[in-house]
Each structure stands twice: as C-alpha cells, then as structure tokens.
Structure 1
Amino acid sequence: MRDRVPVVVQTRGVRSTPARVLWVGAEAVITCGVVLLLLVVHQLWWTNQQARAQATQQVRALEREWEGSPPAPSVEESPPVEGTPAPVESVASPEAEAEAEPAATPSSRRPPLSSAYAILRIPRIGLTAPVARGVGKRSVLDRGYVGQYPDTAAPGRPGNFALAGHRNTHGEPFRYINRLRPGDRIRVQTREREYEYVVDQVLAQTAPRDTGVIQPVPRSLVKPSYGYSAPGSYLTLTTCTPEFSSAYRLVVWAKLVR
C-alpha cells in the first residue's frame, strides 16, 4: 500500500466578517474626518484669504479713484426724525442669507447696492475695510466688506451711520471690535472727505431683534441703560457674539467729532 503524501493548499488570508466590518468602518471614519478637516480649513482659512484679498483690492481701487478725480459735491440730506423705526426686523446676522433691500432712491444721491463707497479705518485693531450699502451675505459681507444698514444715515450726517460685519470667516473685519474702548478713534473716508468718530459705549451682548441699537437715536430695547436719548451724529458697529456663533449681537457706538 502506497504512502499518501499530504497536500498543502495555500490560500490567501481572508478576514472574518466582524474584522472586515471594523476595517470598513475605520476607513469611513477616517474619510469623514479628512472631509470635515478640509471644510474647517476652507471656512476658517481659505474664505478669509479670499475675502481679505477682495477687500484690500477694493480699498486700493477706491483710493486710486479718489486721487484721480475731484470730490463730488455732497448732497444735503434731511436729518432723520427722532424715533423713526428702521425698516428691518433684526440686527443683521452675517450668517443671514436674505438681502436687505433699501427703499428706492435716486442714483445720484447714493451709490448702487453692494458698491463700495467708503473706507472704514480703526487703528486700535488694525482694520481697514471697504464699506458698501446693504447687509446681504453674498453681495457684501462674504466679500470681506462692511455693510451699511439700509436707510441709516450717511457718514458724517445727523442720525445713525450703522454698520455690520463678519465676526468670523470671510475676512472677519469685526472680529476684534470687542477690544474697542471709549476714546478709541474710528475714521470713515469718502470721496468728499474723512470723518472721525470716537468710541463712546460698548454693549457686549444683546438679542438679534434688538433693532433699537440702529435707530436714528440708538438705544437698546433689551437693555435700555445702553444708548442715547438725544439726536446726534452716531456710528454703530454690530456683529455676532460669541465668536463662531450668531446667538447674540455685540454693539459698539461712537460719536462724530469732526
């Protein structure tokens, strides 16, 4: 009787079903983590780079334009009536999608919507940013611009020159306005001239629907101890707070000095 020779069959290692599930799950988690990391980099870094580049380019374009042409004659506007409500439902959130459309006005009196017409400079926080009409997200704020609330006063005029800007992402021009203190200088340059305001009050937190802060005579409806009771020439800066949230609004008020 012949001796049987054992046959050895080599097979590729096959993972058991539980091990295979764990491996696939691990790959999915890693993939999701990479995608989330890329999204965070895009929001926190790339949008800032893009918006700051656009804003800087616009500031330079305005400066070149003003240097090469004589000042346009200013148009006198009637001061706003005290207590007249601004036609907005809330203090703008830079995260809001809706475009706030102003009432129709002759093009000779105001620049077109979303067109930068002034430059805001705040030396204390190293800010230089273009100012455009409107507080629309895509057309103004996401470009790194500072937006003027519709139907608020023009720079240097009686009433309330009220502005909004991103606190985080898309250039985040207002990220550090919480560092402003009474006495800090804010300059607003237009084709006609440069105006200077001095910071007077800071409201660290209020509700998004506190529209009193952007009225012609600004006063908080939520915290009435903050604000004013007499007409004047005011500048209001608003942004979201705390950082990376739109739960509340941070407000800075300044008064015209020249």
Structure 2
Amino acid sequence: MVGLVGELALTAGLVMLLLAAWELHGKQIEVDRGQEQLATGLDEQWSQTAGPDAEPLPGSAHSRMYIPSLDLDWVVVHGVTQEDIRHAPGHYPDSAEPGQVGNYAIAAHRSPGMFWDVDLLEEGDAIVLEDRENFHTYEVIGNEVVTPDRVDVVGPDPFDPGNDEPERALVTLTTCYPKLSNEKRLIVYAELSDTRPKDQGMPESIAHMAPDTENQEG
C-alpha cells in the first residue's frame, strides 16, 4: 500500500512538472504561431496603397517592435484585452502612435516569448518600432515596479501625469511583476532618439534581425 501511494505521489509530481513546462514553453509555441500569422497580415497591409485613415480593429496588427539586446521582435497588435494579447504585445488604443510626441504604451504577458526578460533591459538599450514608413529608435531611460492601479504610467506623460500636452516621444512597456504573478506591474520607459525612413534601410542596431536574414544566410 505504501508503495502504491508513493507511486501515485510520484506520478502526480511528474504531471505537475509537465503542466508547468507547458505553461511556460507551450505558450511560447502558441505565440510563435500567432506571430507568424500576424506578420503575414501586417506585410500584406503595408504592401497595399494607403487608403483613408480608419480605426484599427482590436487584435489587428499595428506595428513591429524590436528589442535587439534581448534578440526579440514581435508584431504589436491594437488593443490590450486578454484576447487581443494572447499571441502579441498590445498597443493601448488611446496612447500615441510610433514616433509621435506622447506615449506609445504597450502591454504584454510575462511569459516566455513575450515580456519574460524585459527586466534585463538597461538604460541606453534600444527599442525600435516599425510602422509603414519608418523605423523609430527609442533608448531605455528607466524602469519601476508599480501597483496595478497606476494607470498614469500609460498616460501621455508618465513623468508628469497632469500634463495633457507632452513634449517627449516615449515608449512604455508594461507587464506583470514578479514572474508568474500579477500582483504588481513592471514598467520600462524609453525615449525617442531617432527616426529613419525605410528607404534608408534598417537601423544598424536591428540589421541582424531582418525577417529574411536567416533565409539569405541559409
């Protein structure tokens, strides 16, 4: 009887380990698949002649973001609901556009393949946003941990919450803190340092991350 109980306990432990592994790494597989579909849709969208401006649909591809120091890049979607950000970081709908004065605020899960390692970002590290026409390079200027009710961090000027006429162009990344918990929020701030038209090629900081680089080298 004791042996049977021990075997059951061991089996239960192995099941829990497998579930934990799937929770961490299985989700990354889902993210990778979702990102492939979003990237295809974004490329098709940008290849078309620009038409009248329209409000993006929730969950639709919005921009690309590159973090070269972490060797990570994503298609960013419009919207920050749980459904919107299943497979991608999400752009807060009322925040600025890439390169604009104001705050381009982005939320993502603290999971592998997403914002798992954004705590490793240091001051001066690059975050690059790509829109239809330009690459916008931002440099990390700091981070902080806040409570979930601190909505001012995604406002027009997170350093001056009462200011409705910001003068700086910022990117703000938001995710859960600590890992595997939603008790608090980790916030990373970056400020615009350069805008480069696409006809001048990719910025040097992300040239190695070009979508076709691996195919060309292979």
Whether TM-score is above 0.5 comes out as yes
Gaps of 5+ in 2: 196-218
Name the structure 1 match of 2:175: 239
Contact persistence 1:56–1:129 (CA under 8 A): no
Structure 2 counterpart of 1:158, from 98, 101, 111? 101
Query: How far apart are 1:60 and its partner, in Å?
Result: 4.1
Name the structure 2 match of 1:53: 33
Name the structure 2 match of 1:79: none
Structure 1 counterpart of 2:14, from 34, 39, 43? 34
Aligned pair 1:119/2:64, yes or no? yes
Counterpart Cα distance in 2 of 1:109 and 1:124: 34
Render the CA deviation track for 1:33-55: whole Å, top value 9, x for unaligned: 23212211211121111212221
The secondary structure found in structure 2 opposite 1:141 is coil
Letter in 2 for 1:151: D
Counterpart Cα distance in 2 of 1:201 and 1:38: 36
The secondary structure found in structure 2 opposite 1:250 is strand
Counterpart Cα distance in 1 of 2:189 and 2:147: 16
Aligned pair 1:147/2:90, yes or no? yes
Counterpart Cα distance in 1 of 2:43 and 2:139: 23
Counterpart Cα distance in 1 of 2:154 and 2:160: 9
Instruction: Tell me the matched-pair count.
Output: 191
Contact persistence 1:211–1:220 (CA under 8 A): no
Aligned pair 1:212/2:191, yes or no? no
Contact persistence 1:118–1:189 (CA under 8 A): yes
**Higher RCO (CA 8 Å, separation ≥ 6 residues):** 1
The secondary structure found in structure 1 opposite 2:159 is coil
Counterpart Cα distance in 2 of 1:38 and 1:179: 27
Query: TM-score by structure 1 length?
Result: 0.66
Counterpart Cα distance in 1 of 2:166 and 2:45: 37
Query: How far apart are 1:202 and its partner, in Å?
Result: 1.9
Name the structure 1 match of 2:190: 254
Name the structure 2 match of 1:134: 79
Larger Rg: 1
Contact persistence 1:216–1:231 (CA under 8 A): no
Query: TM-score by structure 2 length?
Result: 0.77
Query: How far apart are 1:188 and its partner, in Å?
Result: 1.0
CA RMSD of aligned residues (A): 2.4
Contact persistence 1:234–1:256 (CA under 8 A): yes
Letter in 1 for 2:21: V
Contact persistence 2:65–2:129 (CA under 8 A): yes
Structure 1 counterpart of 2:125, from 154, 179, 184? 184
Letter in 1 for 2:122: R
The secondary structure found in structure 2 opposite 1:142 is coil
Counterpart Cα distance in 2 of 1:59 and 1:201: 29
Query: How far apart are 1:64 and its partner, in Å?
Result: 4.7
Render the CA deviation track for 1:51-90: whole Å, top value 9, x for unaligned: 1222134224423542x323x26x8xxxxxxxxxxxxxxx
Counterpart Cα distance in 2 of 1:230 and 1:42: 43
Counterpart Cα distance in 2 of 1:177 and 1:220: 24
Letter in 1 for 2:152: G
Name whichever structure is richer in strand by fraction: 2
